[in-house]
Amino acid sequence: MTTTGTTATAPTGSPTSSSTIRRSRLTKIVATLGPSTTTPETIAKLFEVGVDVFRLNFSHGTHEDHGARLKVLREMEARTGRPIAVMADLQGPKLRVATFANGPITLMPGQSFRLDLSKEPGDTRRVGMFHPEIFAALTPGTDLLLDDGRVRLRVESCGPDFAETVVVSGTKLSDRKGVNVPGVVLPLSPLTKKDREDLVFALDSGVDWVALSFVQRPEDVAEARKLVAGRAALMSKLEKPQAIAHLDEIIELSDGIMVARGDLGVELPAEDVPTLQKRIVRESRRAGKPVIVATQMLESMVSAPAPTRAEASDVATAVYDGADAVMLSAETASGDYPIEAVSMMDRIARRVEHDPLYRTIMDAQHPDPQQTAADAITAAARQVAHTIQAAAIVTYTTSGSTTLRAARERPEQPILCLTSVIETARRLQLVFGVHAVHTEDIANFSEMVQKATRTAHKDGIALEGQRLVITAGVPFGTPGNTNILRIAWVEAE
């Protein structure tokens, strides 16, 4: 049973009160805020039409810009009584060529072209590239991709401060275009000086997720975890093919994974990206870590009121794969139709989730439970909920582990999460099917059952007389200690 319809009521209550907006889909939507979506009215409309997680892109804008948007979000959270997740997306190292003396140049395939550390403006024979780390990693035969792959150079000879290359393809190159080095692990930390300053600001401001760019190795994630120090959940962005060789370790060290297909598509053959996307989603789901599919999902809606059919199919594919969330970037940050883009993504996700094939796929892809009581009970909860056609599965959690375990099963019912920790409620807004409610601390299981049934009714998740499947860990406060399953009847207050 998949819920239908949209529930939305006037904003009332406090941060610990019941929901004012309940989504009618299980897949979540992440939207990026930017120049097109700055005013409180626009942000409120994005939330109303379907955004679950708001992304602050630190590649653009100032701390003041991001702080002002975060203030709007926290005021909206207080007004609506709904936990709202905020993600700070760090820029990471930006590898670029320098500038040219006389503007853009024309290249010819087969011609020689030099990259070096000289600060002299470039010309048709050479240009500066102020990244000694790149030169240190190059060997003859290495390919360099410039301007998102529009120009391809092949290294003929190189040293610590230069690379003599030949132009393989591409005819135009202009100032400060990006550089990619496919197949090479660069000796670079994913955290630049700017990233570290942005991270301090984001954590002090109270963001819920930090997205780490330029992840190449497990050590990159470990470095970021040490700096975050538990103050936010850590999302590893998989945009470098080098990370795929360490996929399992990176997933294990991360709280969530983002499939950043833009850069993956630059450094990998286009035909490899769809299968890699499916692999990353599958492995993240198996590990019980939330996974986002991102980049250019509805790209044409930056300037058009409707997507292409291919874009609609792209979003649908991510939903069929069982991704926790799909993400909008420029579509909402700088596009002309941000509200329409979110509405379209919402409609596509709901349509897919009502397709009988979707449930067939989800049921065929349940990860095998681990040999623990917690996994056994959570897997049983999904089966019981299906058998009795329960309105929802209810979890009570402090750390979020019980709820994440339930979401890993991809049940057909929504997951009503009760937690006394507001940070946990916010972070779980990203997770498949979760309707998180920040509630007062609960003393015992009986009180939890009563709270669950009344909250489910008040939030429009279940009607009076319907049944809930409830899981929890007793004694309360022990993370991951799921050891109780109960069926309860919904009652009104």
**In sequence order, which residues have a C-beta less than 8 Å from that of residue 102 and are 6 or more positions away?**
123
Q: C-alpha angle 394/320/339, rounded to 5°?
A: 85
Compute φ and ψ for 147, nearest 5 degrees.
55, 55
CA separation for the pair 328, 312 (Å, rounded):
13
Point out the catalytic residue in the list 3, 32, 295, 455.
295
Point out the catalytic residue in the list 23, 25, 28, 55.
55
Q: State the burial class of residue 125 (Cβ atoms within 10 Å of its Cβ: 0-12, 13-18, 19+).
A: exposed
Place of tokens 């992304």: 55
Point out the catalytic residue in the list 25, 28, 82, 237.
237
SS3 state at 54: strand
End-to-end CA distance of the chain: 25
Is there a contact between 257 and 235 (Cβ–Cβ < 8 Å)? yes
Give the chain's count of helices (H) and strands (E): 16, 23
SS3 state at 464: coil
- CA 326 to chain CA mean position, Å: 7
Residues in the chain: 493
SS3 state at 36: coil
**In sequence order, which residues have a C-beta less than 8 Å from that of residue 238 and are 6 or more positions away?**
215, 244, 247, 250, 257, 258, 259, 260, 264, 280
Closest among 224, 279, 218, 289 to 249, alpha carbons compared: 218
Point out the catalytic residue in the list 45, 74, 79, 96.
96
**In sequence order, which residues have a C-beta less than 8 Å from that of residue 473 and are 6 or more positions away?**
374, 396, 402, 479, 480, 481, 482, 483, 484
Residue 96 annotated as catalytic: yes
Q: Which residues are catalytic?
A: 55, 96, 237, 295
